[in-house]
Amino acid sequence: MEKLFKLQENGTTVKTELLAGLTTFMTMAYIIALNPNLLTNFAVGTPLWNGVFLATCIASAIGTACMAFLANKPFAMAPGMGLNSFFAVVVANIVTLTGMSYLQSFQTALCVILIEGIVFIILSVLKVREKIVEAIPLGIRLGIAPAIGLMLLNIGIGSNAGVYSSDGGPFYVMRDFFGALTPSLAKANMGDGYPQMVLTVVTMFVGLFLIVLFAHKKIKGSVLLGMLCASGIYWAGEAIFLHTNPFASLKGASFVPAFGDMAETTLFKFDFAALGEIGWFTVVTLVITFCIIDMFDTIGTLVGTASRAGMVDEEGNMPNMKEALLSDAIGTVAGACLGTSTVTTYVESASGVAQGGRSGLTAFSVAACFVLALFFAPVFTAIPGSAVCPALVFVGLFMLSPIKDIPLDDFSESIPAFLTMILMPMTYSISNGILLGLVAYVILNLCTGKVKKIGWFMAVLSILVILKFIFL
């Protein structure tokens, strides 16, 4: 272990790393079921759904294992949120344009993801992606971690745990419960979903208080322990107050992976011949769009989380950045071959870092959990969203501290940083937050006569970003 992951050098232990890995996995385990739901339009139980489910787990395990052994970093990977939704839209558009079946359109879209992954491998080997990271101004780099923190806070309190009722939904804690004019109006709007919302709110806040208490007492695994306690509270509430069985989904659930379905629907099922039917200009546009979103999502997560964990040098650069980016690219290629959308570094990795994870052993333990999920998926998916929310809120607060290092007296540095922090949670996109911050940086330095600070690379990048928002 010591030779592989350099635990002493990174100031960590096996126990800490394993707890951190389990914590990270628990906060991102939702992707196991959500990704196949989004990519197949909720066609649960179909061969395609089963194939995407297996692809999600295996691709996540491969990408995260690469991060562990190539980069020795505590970051986990899985099919990216936002990117998977965009992929589903692309598949639906291919169906409309060509009249092909959903499955054939899905297999055509996988070709785009494969091309993107190969492009990223080339760019990573040539250190182009690394140069882009180095070109990001220090102020924005310092702002990325707090921006991610605010986005996690927004997800944790605002939109992670949705409640449905016979009258519709989803209903969310901040918008529909605390945001209602009066409690009676919230109750009227949610109908029979109101008791579940109350249970969700209680679970979230009790779970958060427990995590803070455990962390204050310096109990190892405080975040994970808080999540487990919150899960217990929610399950007990379901049984006692809602009169439902919290483990009903486990009855009749299959624990045998449907590898035959994956082989039939997604495994190396590339339909390159159909790319010509949607037009090569469209194909190139899609590849560029996926590349831009994935690149800055990954860069943002790596830079933000690494800076908060103290894994950067004096200039704000993370060691082994090339290997980390290469791991991301390999994960994407593996995902395309297996049958899922772009694999990227997960912002939930911050939860493991907050728990003390500092080496690749954290990532390796996450990869092992994804392998286990192949056989125990119903168990992992039984974790309620309201139990994950407190962890996201706590980690969001953990990520805010780099704000103090932003040079507030230099508006050409501080304004772009704060725009990044504001826009990232507002747009629910790491890439959009960073890209708009970069454009603001260039414009402000031009206006203040600090042209030399910009450099040709940032100037070109800003022009490309503006063109991206106009035409893509």
pLDDT digits (tens, 9 = 90+) for 195-253: 999 999 999 999 999 999 998 998 888 888 999 999 999 999 999 999 999 988 788 77
**Cα separations in angstroms, 323 against 64, 130, 441:** 12, 10, 28
Q: Indicate the pTM of the whole model.
A: 0.83
Reply yes or no on whether the pLDDT at 62 is more than 90.
yes
pLDDT score at 68: 97
The residue out of 366, 398, 430 marking a domain boundary is 398
Task: Say yes or no: 274 and 294 in one domain.
Answer: yes
Q: Of 262-276, 317-331, 427-441, which range is least confident? A: 427-441
Phi, psi of 76 (to 5 degrees): -105, 155
Task: Say yes or no: 114 and 63 in one domain.
Answer: yes
pLDDT score at 308: 78
**Count of structural domains, the chain:** 2
Q: Within a domain: residue 351?
A: yes
Listed in sequence order, the residues at least 6 apart from 233 whose beta carbon sits closer than 8 Å to its beta carbon are: 202, 203, 206, 207, 387
**Cα separations in angstroms, 6 against 9, 222, 322, 364, 417:** 5, 24, 19, 14, 33
Structure tokens at 291: 């590349």
pLDDT score at 361: 97
The overall average pLDDT reported for the chain is: 90
Q: Are 333 and 117 in contact (CB under 8 A)?
A: yes
**How far is 466 from 472, CA to CA, in rounded Å?**
10
Q: Are 403 and 51 in contact (CB under 8 A)?
A: no
Q: Within a domain: residue 222?
A: yes
Task: Say yes or no: 392 and 407 in one domain.
Answer: no
Q: Within a domain: residue 251?
A: no
Q: Within a domain: residue 91?
A: yes
Task: Say yes or no: 214 and 346 in one domain.
Answer: yes
Q: Are 169 and 193 in contact (CB under 8 A)?
A: yes
Give the position of tokens 């899905």: 106
Q: What is the mean pLDDT of residues 270-299?
A: 87
Q: Within a domain: residue 6?
A: no
Q: Within a domain: residue 182?
A: yes
Task: Say yes or no: 69 and 117 in one domain.
Answer: yes
Task: Say yes or no: 387 and 416 in one domain.
Answer: no
Q: What is the mean pLDDT of residues 83-89?
A: 89
Reply yes or no on whether the pLDDT at 472 is more than 70.
no
Task: Say yes or no: 391 and 437 in one domain.
Answer: no
Reply yes or no on whether the pLDDT at 418 is more than 70.
yes
Count other C-beta atoms under 10 Å from residue 256's C-beta: 7
Task: Say yes or no: 176 and 317 in one domain.
Answer: yes
Q: What is the mean pLDDT of residues 387-403?
A: 87
- Parent domain of 381: 11-244+258-398
Task: Say yes or no: 369 and 413 in one domain.
Answer: no
Q: Within a domain: residue 201?
A: yes
Q: How many Cα atoms occupy the beta-carbon half-sphere of 62 within 13 Å? A: 20
SS3 for the chain, per residue? CHHHHCCCCCCCCHHHHHHHHHHHHHHHCCHHHHHHHHHCCCCCCCHHHHHHHHHHHHHHHHHHHHHHHHHCCCCCEEECCCHHHHHHHHHHHHHHHHCCCHHHHHHHHHHHHHHHHHHHHHHHHCCHHHHHHHHCCHHHHHHHHHHHHHHHHHHHHHHCCCEEECCEEEECHHHHHHCCCCHHHHHHHHHHHHHHHHHHHHHHHHHHHHHHHHHHCCCCCHHHHHHHHHHHHHHHHHHHCCCCCCCHHHCCCCCCCCHHHHHHHCCCCCCHHHHHHHCHHHHHHHHHHHHHHHHHHHHHHHHHHHHHCCCCCCCCCCCCHHHHHHHHHHHHHHHHHHCCCCEEECCCHHHHHHCCCCCHHHHHHHHHHHHHHHHHHHHHCCCCHHHHHHHHHHHHHHCCHHHHHCCCCCHHHHHHHHHHHHHHHHHCCHHHHHHHHHHHHHHHHHHCCCHHHHHHHHHHHHHHHHHHHHHC
The residue out of 373, 398, 423 marking a domain boundary is 398
The residue out of 398, 419, 449 marking a domain boundary is 398
Task: Say yes or no: 339 and 420 in one domain.
Answer: no
Share of the chain above pLDDT 70, in %: 99
Listed in sequence order, the residues at least 6 apart from 72 whose beta carbon sits closer than 8 Å to its beta carbon are: 4, 5, 6, 320, 323, 359, 360
Q: What is the mean pLDDT of residues 67-95?
A: 92
pLDDT score at 454: 86
Q: What is the mean pLDDT of residues 437-449?
A: 91
**How far is 132 from 434, CA to CA, in rounded Å?**
12
Task: Say yes or no: 369 and 419 in one domain.
Answer: no
Reply yes or no on whether the pLDDT at 297 is more than 70.
yes
Reply yes or no on whether the pLDDT at 326 is more than 70.
yes
Q: Within a domain: residue 21?
A: yes
Phi, psi of 163 (to 5 degrees): -115, 130
Q: How many Cα atoms occupy the beta-carbon half-sphere of 43 within 13 Å? A: 13
More confident residue, 380 or 155: 155
Task: Say yes or no: 350 and 432 in one domain.
Answer: no
